Structure 1
Amino acid sequence: MTGAIVGDAGHAPARSIRPIATAGMTIGIGMGGFFDGILFHQILQVHSMMSARIPTDTLLGAKVNMVWDGLFHAIVWFVTAAGIALLWRATARPDAVRSGRTLAGSILIGFGLFNLIEGTIDHHLLHLHHVYERLGVSAWDYVFLASGLALIATGWLMIRASRSN
């Protein structure tokens, strides 16, 4: 059995997608946060982390929101770094399935989870901000949630297709 990994009973260990999927979802959550912060907070400037509670139309309000945006980016940086560490550990595991499609699908699931959870909590429950702040709760907040569901479904389909190969 050259090159085969043999378990205690003389059988190859069961292969698992869990290590790569966990790493991918963690990276996806972090990347979803970065995408949100970079696109909506910085480039489009349609909201900031606390813009529904602390308006950004004064210098003080803008500065306070900038601090909250920075804290948000620090958190998603740590989440992304944790995902990279999990990915590094997963690649060292002999039982871990190494599949680019599973990794990509897991990243999409994590990105979708970010949109779904952050959108539900920050936009709808706590009203910290909305996708397009000037409109308040609007169709854009629901499109954001729907994008999360679409990303999760797409990622799940990718993983499912990779498992059948």
Structure 2
Amino acid sequence: MEAKSGYVHRRMPLIAAGIILGLGLNGFFDGILLHQILQWHHMLSSTRPLTTTSNIDLNMVWDGLFHAFDWILTVVGIVLLWRAGGRDDVPWSSKTFVGSLLIGAGLFNLVEGTIDHQILGIHHVKPGPNQLAWDVGFLILGALLVVLGWLMLQTKVRNQE
């Protein structure tokens, strides 16, 4: 057990970098795909529909703030990854890194989907018919990404014992 916990502890800088990067990158993916390309929703589209120029402007500002937050997360993740890469005691593993990215991406869906879609109701994945199904699917995808990432981390730990 000592070898396992020591190995897990040494991987934490790489895991933290992957999770933060996963959060930021999935935020960008969400903003670019759902907000801009598909235009399914914007940050405040349920509370401020895109029916007036002032609402369009307000949603654009909030989408920009959302992207700025994603950018900050991504920069922090890169700094953490850089620091982890410079340490001799951190085992470098693609499986650990990808698993951590998946956990971060899944956490993004779970946190953003729960807060923005369910609690605040400021927007939904795809408003209109079946919007609850789209919102639940977003949460299920997030949970699956977290579980898949966690399984990848566990597999690596077993291989190192």
TM, length-normalised to structure 2:
0.90
- Among 60, 66, 73, which residue is 1:66 paired with? 60
Distance 1:150 1:103 in 2: 17
- Among 96, 99, 105, which residue is 2:90 paired with? 96
| Runs of at least 5 residues in structure 2 that lack an aligned partner in the other structure | 1-5
User: 2:126 is matched by which residue type in structure 1?
Assistant: Y
Deviations 1:70-124 (A, max 9, x none): 0000000000000000000011122211101100000000000000000000000
Check the 8 A contact 1:51/1:133 in 2, yes or no.
Answer: no
- 2:81 aligned with 1:82, yes or no? no
Bigger CA radius of gyration: 1
Residue 164 of structure 1 aligns with which residue?
Answer: 158
SS of the residue 1:164 aligns to: helix
| Runs of at least 5 residues in structure 1 that lack an aligned partner in the other structure | 1-13
Residue 50 of structure 1 aligns with which residue?
Answer: 44
Residue 120 of structure 1 aligns with which residue?
Answer: 114
Structure 1 residue 38: deviation in Å? 0.5
**Residues 100-111 of structure 1: pairs in structure 2 closer than 5 A:** 100-111=94-105
Distance 1:135 1:106 in 2: 34
Distance 2:75 2:129 in 1: 34
User: 2:32 is matched by which residue type in structure 1?
Assistant: I
User: 1:56 is matched by which residue type in structure 2?
Assistant: L
User: 2:111 is matched by which residue type in structure 1?
Assistant: I
User: 1:19 is matched by which residue type in structure 2?
Assistant: P
User: 2:57 is matched by which residue type in structure 1?
Assistant: K
Bigger drift between 43-52 and 136-145 goes to 136-145
Q: 1:114 to 1:159 in 2, by over 3 A?
A: same
Residue 33 of structure 1 aligns with which residue?
Answer: 27
Structure 1 residue 137: deviation in Å? 4.5
Q: Which has the higher helix share?
A: 2
User: 2:141 is matched by which residue type in structure 1?
Assistant: S
Distance 2:80 2:106 in 1: 19
Structure 1 residue 61: deviation in Å? 1.2
- 2:136 aligned with 1:145, yes or no? no
TM, length-normalised to structure 1:
0.88
SS of the residue 2:24 aligns to: helix
Check the 8 A contact 1:123/1:137 in 2, yes or no.
Answer: no
Structure 1 residue 164: deviation in Å? 2.3
Cα RMSD, aligned residues only: 1.2
Percent identical residues: 51
User: 1:108 is matched by which residue type in structure 2?
Assistant: L
User: 1:139 is matched by which residue type in structure 2?
Assistant: A
SS of the residue 1:95 aligns to: coil
Distance 1:101 1:56 in 2: 42
